[in-house]
Amino acid sequence: MASASFADEAGDAKRGKELVGKYQCNRCHDGTGVESGVKPLEHCVHCHQDILAGKFRAPPDKLETWTKNLATLREVPSLSAAGKRFRRGWIATFLREPHDLRPRLLGSMPRFAISADDARDIAAYLVPNDPEPELAMSGADAVKGRALVEANGCGTCHVMTGAPPLPDAPTPLGPKDFETRPAVALAPDLRFARDRWRAAELVKWLREPRAVKADALMPQVPLTPEQARDIAAYLLTTPLAPAPPRAVPARLPVLERRVTWDEVYDRVFRKTCRHCHAEPDYALGDGGPGNTGGFGFAPRKLNLADYAGAQAGALDSSGQRKSVFAPLADGTPWLVASLLARQAEEAGKPNPEVRGMPLGLPSVAPEDIQLVETWVAQGRPQ
Amino acid sequence: MNRTSSRILMLASAIALGVAIAPRHASACGDEFVPAIDHRVLGVARAEKAMQEGKYQAAAGMVVRMFPEIGRMTANGVAAKDPLVGRAMRTLALATVRTEGALNIDSEIPREARGTWSGKSSEDRQANLTWAVSAMRRVNDVRKDDPAVQSDLGEALAKLDDQKGQAKKVLEDLAAKDLLASPEGYAALARLQAEAGNTGARDAAAKRCEAMAKNPAVCRVGAGGQG
């Protein structure tokens, strides 16, 4: 049974645990086994969940506004029992080359500055044990597996790009068997199952997800061992058409009308950027990962919460202050290039020179990038 | 959400954690520990907003009412290390610079806090501007490598005859890297270039000011460098 080849290298699990703290994986993910390094208000997902649950202490009118606008970081996969599920080599590769794994989830794994050694060691921490012997899959029937996938309504939550579409059939389960919204949001594209799973772990998971991972959202569907093997055979071996290419949106021309800071701030920086590029004096000393540091990034000192802060630039990779409006080789201002780079990342074409912004979140709309680019071209009017 | 509201929200977040921004006092309410709220955080945010809107006198009045001793705080630089006091100092210093040392806030502040702020005499205005430069230096010492603070420092230095050389260097260096953070900073640079007879550099700085400024009046530069 062929699976995609990701070398399962041995690594330093102890160092990997420290790196989970350094990169603040636990700022979004639960189940890392690492509690330190992230203060309560730093946990992105908990904060958003508290807002949605009405538990965040803020004026009611603010809560109401935020609740209406809050679309991202509502749920993020838990990493608990990663070692009982995923291939170590896949984790190490994914950390360095994240891609959109969950098409129904806004946002994706951010692209951090993780070295190959760090990725290997984090993977070793998350998957500490060498795998059990691979399951013998002779006799497993992928055709029957497809029929079972359809009959059990797997398409209710999952897509499988490159395979014939999975029907969105009602599942044989009742509505209380699983929480639909987060399950749908977090259901990965089954196209990647052959990268992430070995047959042995996948069959166990299909039969009893919560025996593998206590907080699994995957419902338990009654399957015999043979049925689970048939489904695994389908997921791991069915031929897949190439994933349809995602187009990078066209870059819009600079506007003719005057664009001021107030408009750019209200439409772009306040909504998204300010969370990571804040003014530390008004955020208990924490200017966010993009200012005072976090997610393994050294402080970049970029404050997008006020006009003067934006003009004051950021520290580049050599620690020198540089204007965020400085043109790159093609003349595009660095700030604009970052926004465009995120669009490219979403299309599967990461720019090795420029990290896409916002980190891991949906790209800024083309019309809003146009606004920022116009503002910069006009000399950044207040 | 406007910037003042967002800063209020930060304060609310701190309260939710039971963390006061400046926990000097607290009270017990039954069994519950109630940290004191420092309302000056909101006040400083409002003063900064007033500055952004060009309401220099209003900004200065707010700061002096909240920190009546602020005129005596620059001696050893310790006060500027407190982020709140540092921001207040910077706001007041900038307001002083942009009103040429004549804040005219006597009617807004307690008598005992008035000092020389209103700048009724040229000596008072000079004293105020000297204080503003000293305050900005202290803030710059704390917030090292912050071009926004350096821009304000350069603008302040340009108001003192014996500091103009340093002012020009600070502002030129920032402008060369496109890190000069305010139109007023560019206007100050344009005036210094005019005084030095560098008409090309003057025009370039004035042009940057005009592109950035909400109020083009801040960019006026006379032939001799006067504002």
Quick count: other Cβ atoms within 10 Å of Cβ A363?
21
Residues paired with residue B32 on neighbouring β-strands, in sequence order: B29
Q: What is the rounded CA–CA span in Å between residue B218 and residue B227?
A: 8
Q: What is the mean pLDDT of residues B42-51?
A: 94
Summary mean pLDDT of chain B: 84
Q: What is the mean pLDDT of residues B1-7?
A: 52
Question: In degrees to the nearest 10, what's the CA dihedral of A267, A269, A272, A276?
Answer: -170
The residue ranking higher by pLDDT, A219 or A380, is A380
Phi, psi of A172 (to 5 degrees): -75, 5
pTM recorded for the entire structure: 0.88
Is residue B217 less than 8 Å (CB to CB) from chain A? Answer: no
Complex ipTM: 0.87
Give the three-class secondary structure for A165: coil
CB A359 within 8 A of CB A295: yes
Q: What is the DSSP letter of A24?
A: T
Report which residue type is found at A313. G
Provide, as residue numbers in chain B, all residues whose Cβ is less than 8 Å from the Cβ of A56. 16
Q: What is the mean pLDDT of residues A162-169?
A: 88
Write out pLDDT tens, residues A284-295: 888 999 999 999
Provide, as residue numbers in chain A, all residues whose Cβ is less than 8 Å from the Cβ of B147. 311-313, 321
Mutate to test the interface with B, among A275, A281, A291 (most CBs of B within 10 A): A281
Find the CB nearest A284 among B6, B19, B178: B19
Nearest CA in chain B to A63: B9
DSSP letters for A3-65? ----------HHHHHHHHHHTTGGGT-S-SS--TT--GGG-HHHHHHHHHTT-S-S-HHHHHH
Q: What is the mean pLDDT of residues A78-87?
A: 94
Quick count: other Cβ atoms within 10 Å of Cβ A40?
11
Give the three-class secondary structure for A91: helix
Check A58 against B13: CB less than 8 A apart: yes
Find the CB nearest A312 among B14, B41, B146: B146
Write out pLDDT tens, residues A318-340: 999 999 999 999 999 999 999 99
Q: What is the rounded CA–CA span in Å between residue A93 and residue A98?
A: 8
Provide, as residue numbers in chain A, all residues whose Cβ is less than 8 Å from the Cβ of B51. none
Confidence tier at A172 by pLDDT (50, 70, 90): low
Write out pLDDT tens, residues A188-232: 999 999 999 999 999 999 999 999 999 999 988 999 999 999 999
The whole-angstrom distance between B143's CA and the closest CA on chain A is 11
Provide the terminal-to-terminal Cα distance of chain B, rounded to the nearest Å.
36
Tokens of A202: 């996948």
Answer whether residue A93 shows pLDDT above 70: yes
State residue B15's pLDDT score: 42
Report which residue type is found at A180. T
Burial class (CB in 10 A: 0-12, 13-18, 19+), A79: buried
Summary mean pLDDT of chain A: 92
Check B12 against A325: CB less than 8 A apart: no
Provide, as residue numbers in chain A, all residues whose Cβ is less than 8 Å from the Cβ of B6. 270, 274, 282, 305
Find the CB nearest B179 among A283, A307, A312: A312
Q: What is the rounded CA–CA span in Å between residue A361 and residue A346?
A: 10
CB A355 within 8 A of CB A111: yes
Nearest CA in chain B to A304: B3
- Chain A residues with at least one Cβ partner in B under 8 Å: 40-41, 56-59, 62, 65, 260, 265, 270, 274, 280-285, 301, 303, 305-309, 311-313, 321-323, 325-326, 378-382
Q: What is the rounded CA–CA span in Å between residue A229 and residue B143?
A: 62
Provide, as residue numbers in chain B, all residues whose Cβ is less than 8 Å from the Cβ of A323. 177-179
Nearest CA in chain A to B208: A379
Tokens of B129: 């501007």
Among A144, A128, A118, A136, which residue's Cα sits nearest to residue A235? A144
Residues 6+ apart with CB under 8 A from B168: B158, B189, B192, B193, B196
Task: Report the range of poorest mean pLDDT among A33-47, A127-141, A190-204, A223-237.
Answer: A33-47
The string over A1-27, giving b where at least 16 C-beta atoms fall within 10 Å of a residue's C-beta and e elsewhere, is eebeebebeebebebbbbbbbbbbbbb
Tokens of B222: 């006379």
Write out pLDDT tens, residues B50-60: 999 999 999 99
Q: How many residue pairs from chains A and B have C-beta atoms closer than 8 A?
A: 95
Find the CB nearest B177 among A307, A323, A378: A323
Q: What is the rounded CA–CA span in Å between residue B131 and residue B127?
A: 6
Nearest CA in chain B to A379: B211
Among B105, B153, B96, which residue's Cα sits nearest to residue B125? B96
Query: What is the percent of chain A with per-residue pLDDT over 70, rounded to a whole number?
Result: 96
Residues 6+ apart with CB under 8 A from A259: A371, A374, A375, A378, A381
Does a cis peptide bond (omega within 30 degrees of 0) precede residue A358? yes
Nearest CA in chain B to A69: B1
State residue B38's pLDDT score: 72
Find the CB nearest B212 among A265, A309, A382: A382
Q: What is the rounded CA–CA span in Å between residue A187 and residue A161?
A: 13
Q: What is the rounded CA–CA span in Å between residue A204 and residue B18?
A: 46
Q: Which residues, numbered 51 to 80 in chain B, qualify as contacts with chain A under a Cβ-Cβ cut-off of 8 Å?
A: 52
Rg (CA), chain B: 19
The owner of tokens 């039969």 is A207
Quick count: other Cβ atoms within 10 Å of Cβ B150?
24
Check A313 against B183: CB less than 8 A apart: no
Half-sphere exposure in the Cβ direction for A14 (13 Å, CA): 0
Confidence tier at A137 by pLDDT (50, 70, 90): confident
C-alpha to C-alpha distances, A185 to A180, A202, A346, nearest whole angstrom: 8, 20, 17
Task: Report the range of poorest mean pLDDT among A19-33, A164-178, A250-264, B161-175.
Answer: A164-178
